[in-house]
Amino acid sequence: MAKSNPKIDVTDRLAFSEIFELLEEKARQYNCVDFIATDPIQIPRQFAQKENIEIAGFLAATIAWGQRPTIIKNGKWLMEAMDHDPYAFLLNTNEDEWLHFEGFKHRTFNGVDCLFFLRSLKNIYQNHGGLEAVFTHGYEQEGAVSGALRYFRKVFFEVEGDRRTHKHVSNIDKGASAKRLNMYLRWMVRKDDAGVDFGIWNGIPASELLLPLDVHTSKQARQLGLLTRKQDDWKAVLEVTEHLKAFDPNDPIKYDFALFGLGAFTQL
């Protein structure tokens, strides 16, 4: 156990200071504009208008599982289908003009799901002040990102639709890690000069963000002794995020770049 921080039970391979230096180095390496070319964040990076960034980012994050080239390809299809102006498309078109989305498919996310997402997003912007307002209100209710995720899910499913779509919005009360929603919040909330994350939302502090836990980040976190839980679930997210706060309490999720990069592009 490292004397520098008794909360972290590190492996014998790396001491606390060495983990800190490694995470800092890899965060700088992968948190850069070159990262965008191979990441789904390039979908919202097409836009300048805040609402377009939010909507494009949410849809890109929603389908962000599987092969990244396929995610990016399908994300671009969605933007083209929305005339490269998703905010105007949602507000100014009727559902009878959305028939071309019936053929959309990304793994288990199909046309039924896609149409539900469009209807729900339209409701959020017409009746709830937009995505930022919904997530921020939920955060303020509980003073935690968990509140943002719970309230967002409640609002998202207030429109009628097929219950099959519920599986595509994580339910943390059932133990889901909410990887894609946490990634989306990272995109919208984090602020730095690297040019990757947008930092256009101000109501949720970066210090309260949670790690987007996936197969890459969880594997590397366990190898570094930052995660002991075996399941990649909500409790694991809270555990690893708490450990990352030991390295940077103000911006712990910048280390998402380090853990993901170590897992996806290199090996310890």
**Domain residue limits at 80:** 51-182
Residue 162 forms part of a structural domain: yes
- Low-confidence winner among 12-26, 142-156, 174-188, 206-220 (lowest mean pLDDT): 12-26
Q: Which value, in Å, is the radius of gyration of the alpha carbons in the chain? A: 19
Is residue 223 a part of any domain in this protein? no
Residue 131 within any structural domain of the chain: yes
Number of domains in the chain: 1
DSSP readout, 116-127? HHHHHHHHHHHH
What is the CB neighbour count within 10 angstroms for residue 89?
Answer: 20
Residue 19 CA, distance from chain mean position: 24
In a domain? residue 34: no
Token pair listed for 237: 């997210």
Tens digits of residue pLDDT in 69-115: 999 999 999 999 999 999 999 999 999 999 999 999 999 999 999 99
Residue 140 burial (CB < 10 Å; 0-12/13-18/19+)?
middle
At residue 267, does pLDDT exceed 80?
no
pTM of the entire predicted model: 0.93
Q: What's the rounded Cα separation, in Å, for the pair 48 and 64? A: 21
In a domain, 106, yes or no: yes
- In a domain, residue 150? The reply is yes
CA dist 143 and 8 (Å) reads 25
- Predicted local confidence at residue 266, as pLDDT: 65
Instruction: Extract the runs of DSSP E, i.e. beta strands, from the chain.
Output: 105-106, 109-110
Looking at the domain assignment, is residue 215 inside a domain?
A: no
| Summary mean pLDDT of the chain | 93
Assess if residue 109 is contained within a domain.
yes
